[in-house]
Amino acid sequence: MTKRSVDRIVLAIIILMAVLLYGSAANFTGIARTTSAKYVRFLAVFIGVLSSGQLAYSLLRDRSLDKLIVTTHWPRFIGLLVALVIFAMVFETLGFFIPAAIFIPVVAVLLGFRNYLAIGLTTLGVLAFVYIVFIQILSVNLPGFNF
């Protein structure tokens, strides 16, 4: 299987999941219909639009027939998986912002980025985006410490 075909299959699955996620918000009952449903719909639309854009880009870009090689990336994949598990374990007790402030730079370094200024600015940007959109605009209560 080529990289291009794997990319397109994964993007199509993500788009399908975004549509299903958006539809599932209609089944929310009570107060969740007005609070959590807004959050779920926002995520579904955001993920669906970004994945659709990426799929369109994939259909228009080069016609590479490179094979997908996963085995050379196992150490990096295992490191990312361990970081994700640790993030999930401490998320409930420490909240979102403290673990994310550590997790995002760790993942960036594991992926091979070495521009520490860009990593720091990206981390601050993601945290600010989450704060503004989810806490200020959507009034979502994230676990743990909130501003």
Between the alpha carbon of residue 27 and those of residues 21, 40, 59, 78, the distances in Å are 11, 12, 34, 36
Provide the domain count of the chain. Answer: 2
Single out the residue in 28, 46, 68 at which a domain terminates. Answer: 68
pTM score of the predicted model = 0.55
Q: At what angle do helices 74-94 and 97-110 cross, to 10 degrees?
A: 170
Give residue-wise pLDDT tens across range 79-98: 888 888 998 888 878 888 88
130 token code pair: 């989450």
- Judgement on whether residues 75 and 41 belong to the same structural domain of the protein: no
- Judgement on whether residues 39 and 88 belong to the same structural domain of the protein: no
- Judgement on whether residues 106 and 146 belong to the same structural domain of the protein: yes
- Judgement on whether residues 7 and 78 belong to the same structural domain of the protein: no
- Judgement on whether residues 4 and 76 belong to the same structural domain of the protein: no
Spatial distance between the Cα atoms of 94 and 49, rounded to a whole number of angstroms: 31
Give residue-wise pLDDT tens across range 42-67: 888 999 899 998 888 887 776 656 66
99 token code pair: 């673990």
Residue 77 banded pLDDT, cuts 50, 70, 90: confident
Residue 133 CA, chain-centre distance (Å), reads: 15
Residue range 102-122: mean pLDDT, rounded: 91
- Judgement on whether residues 76 and 44 belong to the same structural domain of the protein: no
The answer for 139, left when phi > 0, alpha when psi is -120 to 50, beta otherwise, is left
- Residue 92 contacts residue 144 (beta carbons within 8 Å): yes
- Judgement on whether residues 129 and 116 belong to the same structural domain of the protein: yes
Q: Worst-scoring range by mean pLDDT, 21-25, 59-63, 98-102?
A: 59-63
- Judgement on whether residues 119 and 55 belong to the same structural domain of the protein: no
* Domain that residue 9 falls in: 1-68
- Judgement on whether residues 62 and 87 belong to the same structural domain of the protein: no
- Could you give the count of Cα atoms lying within 13 Å of 42 in the half-sphere of its Cβ? 13
- Judgement on whether residues 63 and 87 belong to the same structural domain of the protein: no
User: What's at 64, amino acid-wise?
Assistant: S
